[in-house]
Amino acid sequence: MSVRSMTAFAHQRAEYPWGTAAWEIRSVNQRYLDLTFKLPELWRHLEPGLRDALRKNLSRGKVEVSLRLQMRSEGSESLKINHALAGEVMAAAQAIHGKLDHPASIDPLAILQWPGVVGESQPDADEVQQALMTLFAQALAEQSAGREREGAELKLMIEQRLEQIVVITARLRQAMPQLVQAQRDKLLQRLEGLDVKLNE
């Protein structure tokens, strides 16, 4: 029978095009299952799925799960142009341009400064979530393997102690008649000193 310890620690870290993620899972013994999570606010919605995954692997213990996430910033290369909005701004500018007597040329930089035309390129949320859950599964597997290792060591230690108890018990059984007789003789000596009549 496999013995699993409740005390274990797992750490999984990975780098992606969009940044770096690191999961940590710590567990200690406890009578019931107590799960706590430290997640970035943007990824708090992952908690129900994480709870389900942990409940499938654990029935008890105090478990702390934390996620550290560092999103990569690539400066100018991360800018994303909203071409649809830019087209609408240009069309509006050209419509007004035609109604003016002495219009100035349309400045492309002015269009880029329009709110919403340029923004930072954000990684696909589904892609990031899939990567995070895959990495969490690896951390959970590492935690389970750690519990198996700890449990195997604990089982070996218990078996060694039991073997020692069996040896000591066998020795005591052999010595028991002499121990009982010695205890009886000692008690009789004390009673003789009290000068009382004994019922054999």
5 contacts 147 by C-beta, under 8 angstroms: yes
Position 87, amino acid? G
- In sign, the C-alpha dihedral spanning 105, 110, 115, 118 is positive
Instruction: Specify the CATH class of 8-73+125-156 in words.
Output: alpha beta
pLDDT in tens, the chain (200 residues): 554 556 788 899 999 989 999 999 998 888 889 999 999 998 999 999 999 999 998 888 899 999 999 988 654 445 677 778 778 878 887 887 777 777 777 777 777 777 776 765 567 788 999 999 999 999 998 888 877 767 666 666 777 788 888 888 888 888 888 888 888 888 877 777 776 666 66
Element (H, E) at 103: none
Cβ 119 vs Cβ 79: under 8 Å: yes
Number of residues that make up the chain: 200
**pTM as predicted:** 0.55
Q: Give the end-to-end CA distance of the chain in Å, rounded to a whole number.
A: 53
CA dist list (Å): 100 to 18, 94, 103, 105, 109: 46, 10, 5, 11, 21
- Cα–Cα distance, 100 to 108 (Å, whole number): 19
Q: Are strands 19-28 and 61-71 parallel, antiparallel or unpaired?
A: antiparallel
Residue ranges per domain, the chain?
Answer: 8-73+125-156, 83-116
